[in-house]
Amino acid sequence: MSAIRFEGVTKRFGGLAAVDDLNLEIRKGEFFSLLGPSGCGKTTTLRMVAGFDQPTEGHIYLDGEPVETVPPYRRNVNTVFQSYALFEHLNIEDNVAFGLKRKKVPSDEIRTRVAEALELVELHGRGKARPRELSGGMKQRVALARALVNRPSVLLLDEPLGALDLKLRKQMQVELKGIQREVGITFLYVTHDQEEALAMSDRIAVMERGLVKQCSSPEDIYEHPSGPFVASFIGTSNLLSGVVENGCVKLATGASCVAQVPSDCPQGAEVHLSVRPEKIWLDELEEGMVELGGTIVERVYVGTTTQVIVELGPGMRVTALEQNTARVGSDNRWQIGDRVRLGWHREHARVLR
């Protein structure tokens, strides 16, 4: 039985469909992410699971039971909000105990469970503090503890790390993943940060304007994006436009690239050739690679890597990524204006329509 099932779920505001015919099954114990830009419907979907919004059409099932008539305070799900939404007039312990008190759990049990929850998020001993005394990261942990302590069947997280600084965010990502594994609860995670989704999720559903564009594991989505939107939203990708010609893709520059053309792209079809920057090699190419020539127009040093932007022809640029490993100093290697040969293994490129 799935933890959450969406059947033909549509949510309309006025004439606009924020969520359009959503069909998804989220498995128990899974870390599932809804990923997409603002307005893609991911938060609306989350709110429908929580019970704050009702679907205009379709059904949602929690643990196999339909939930249309169940108000949020009776669903076995809990939410971690982006703004933390802590109760300012209560201390940490009372915040965390809030849900348990509503369920009339006996007070010694409350005490034990609250202590456990605070230990889990590493806030042991801070129970008597007030929310306003805490930093953003700590508040986030309290919100997490407050939700988890109720042992919901699903935990909903609405961009919980959005307000934290980069370093803290990365740290919390690792912690969250660890907690999820330890506790075993199904996590439904909403984010617009694709790196975050890739790092933490078992599966990701990429959404755009209310529709699920692709739903799969992080590796699958990254290596085999189903379309131009997913390819450009996940990671960076080079999208070279061209036309199918004799089993190859002919680019606007005239160069022809051998590629794995799928069966639904006939001769003459307009397609995009999608190649990840890190899959592009410069100068020292291997046997059997697809080869192209161009001029270096830009070079961006980002610490761990150097981005080299090569112009293949008017209006057609490609970004290649070279790791700044100790043995090659990039500044001596490529200068702006140099002619360079670049290439990739044929299986690293995808033909997308």
Q: State the residues that interact with another protein by CB under 8 A.
A: 50-52, 54, 71-74, 77-79, 81, 83, 85-89, 98-99, 102-103, 146-147, 150
Closer to another protein by Cβ: residue 146 or 169: 146
Tell me the closest approach of the beta carbon of residue 193 to another protein, in angstroms: 19
Tell me the closest approach of the beta carbon of residue 102 to another protein, in angstroms: 4
Spell out the alpha helix ranges (H) of 83-212: 92-102, 107-120, 136-148, 166-183, 194-200
Closer to another protein by Cβ: residue 165 or 245: 165
Tell me the closest approach of the beta carbon of residue 192 to another protein, in angstroms: 18
Closer to another protein by Cβ: residue 156 or 248: 156
Closer to another protein by Cβ: residue 89 or 339: 89
Extended strands (E) in 14-160: 16-26, 31-35, 57-62, 65-66, 77-80, 154-158
Contact 156, 125 (CB under 8 A): no
Closer to another protein by Cβ: residue 127 or 277: 127
How many other CB atoms are there within 10 angstroms of residue 40's CB atom? 24
Contact 277, 299 (CB under 8 A): no
Tell me the closest approach of the beta carbon of residue 71 to another protein, in angstroms: 5
- State the maximum Cα–Cα separation within the chain, in Å, rounded to a whole number: 76
Tell me the closest approach of the beta carbon of residue 41 to another protein, in angstroms: 19
CA 241/CA 273 separation, integer angstroms: 6
Contact 246, 235 (CB under 8 A): no
